[in-house]
Amino acid sequence: MARRKAGDFAPEVMQLFDGYVHGALSRREFLDRAAKFAVGGLTATAMLESLQPNFAWAQQVAKDDPRIKAGYADYDSPGGSGKMRGYMAQPATAGAKLPAVLVIHENRGLNPYIEDVARRLALANFVAFAPDALFPQGGYPGDEDQGRAMFAAQNAKKRSEDLYNGGVFLRSRPETTGKLGVVGFCFGGSVANALAVRMPDLGAAVPYYGSQPAAADVAKIKAPLLIHYAGLDEGINKGWPAYEAALQANKVRYTMHMYDGVNHGFHNDTTPRYDEAAAKLSWQRTLEFLNRHLRG
């Protein structure tokens, strides 16, 4: 399949797709509403197929890259699902203990894109761990639609405990310094915000286009925040003014970057929503931020 870009689709189609991936529209509703934008033989079904992830595009670091060691690790989740699993990546040869970064996926489980993000962090000299919230149901199923359905059926309170306990597990690993940061995307961005509220000793939080915590909880945030938003992401961005006011009122350290003209999911290099310039710039900023706050 030829790689398409967001500009190949009508803006309305991108908005419909955003609703589809976040559960606001069914597949049939997407197809019915997108049909009016079909042009040049590109049917609504073909548009949906073109917008779906192609994970071959996302592999920036091969699974068997000799510079890293990576694999799955189990951990306990008291108060959650009991037993959990995630993907851990770290440098193959580390001369000393390293800071840790928890990586939180989107609303469909631990897919190959998120595993690759963990490997990218390992190459940047961190110990990265990406829990799979779908593990209690058998793990990420390999199909995004199925993953979203499994995710929607979960007990949200247990899932929150499972992801929190992933951070506790990672921070306690002997190969880490105990300094913990979190990076999350979409749903994972909301979790990054939530963990900043819950974990007073968190070293850094980087939410990508994540929903914001309640203003009353912002006073609990002690970690510095690096917040990435997509300019075209109206649903998430409408929560920013209240969040910013609460951050300022409580003197929380934060930096927000708004990437104009890009869509929600711009860092995810498996779909046409990916924007190379914004993704690279945001990732450079993320690594600089994590290095500044988790080392030394």
Tokens standing for residue 193: 């915000």
pLDDT at 89 over 90: yes
pLDDT at 155 over 70: yes
pLDDT at 182 over 80: yes
pLDDT at 58: 66
Share of the chain above pLDDT 70, in %: 98
pLDDT at 54 over 80: no
Q: Is 231 helix (H, G, I), strand (E, B) or coil?
A: coil
pLDDT in tens, 198-228: 999 999 999 999 999 999 999 999 999 999 9
For residues 141-146, average pLDDT: 90
For residues 267-283, average pLDDT: 93
- Among 58, 175, 65, 64, CA closest to 117: 58
CB-CB neighbours of 284 under 10 Å: 10
Residue-level length of the chain: 296
pLDDT at 122 over 60: yes
pLDDT at 25: 79
Mean pLDDT of the chain, nearest integer: 93
pLDDT at 1 over 60: no
DSSP state of 97: -
- Among 232, 86, 223, CA closest to 163: 86
236 pLDDT tier (thresholds 50, 70, 90): very high
pLDDT at 172 over 90: yes
pLDDT in tens, 112-121: 999 999 999 9
pLDDT at 196 over 90: yes
For residues 42-68, average pLDDT: 83
Query: What residue ranges define each of the domains in the chain, with the CATH number in brackets?
Result: 6-51 (no CATH), 55-294 (3.40.50.1820)
pLDDT at 154 over 80: yes
- Cβ atoms of 100 and 128 closer than 8 Å: yes
Mean pLDDT comparison of 25-29, 92-96, 273-277, highest-scoring range: 273-277
Share of the chain above pLDDT 90, in %: 76
pLDDT at 192 over 70: yes
Give one DSSP letter per residue of 103-145, joined into a string: EE--TT-S-HHHHHHHHHHHHTT-EEEEE-TTGGGTS--S-HH
Query: What's this model's pTM, rounded to 2 decimal places?
Result: 0.91
pLDDT at 9: 81
Choice among 33-47, 125-139, 236-250 with the minimum mean pLDDT: 33-47
Q: Give Dmax over CA atoms of the chain in angstroms.
A: 59
Q: Interior CA angle at 63 toward 61 and 69, to 5°?
A: 100
pLDDT at 8 over 90: no
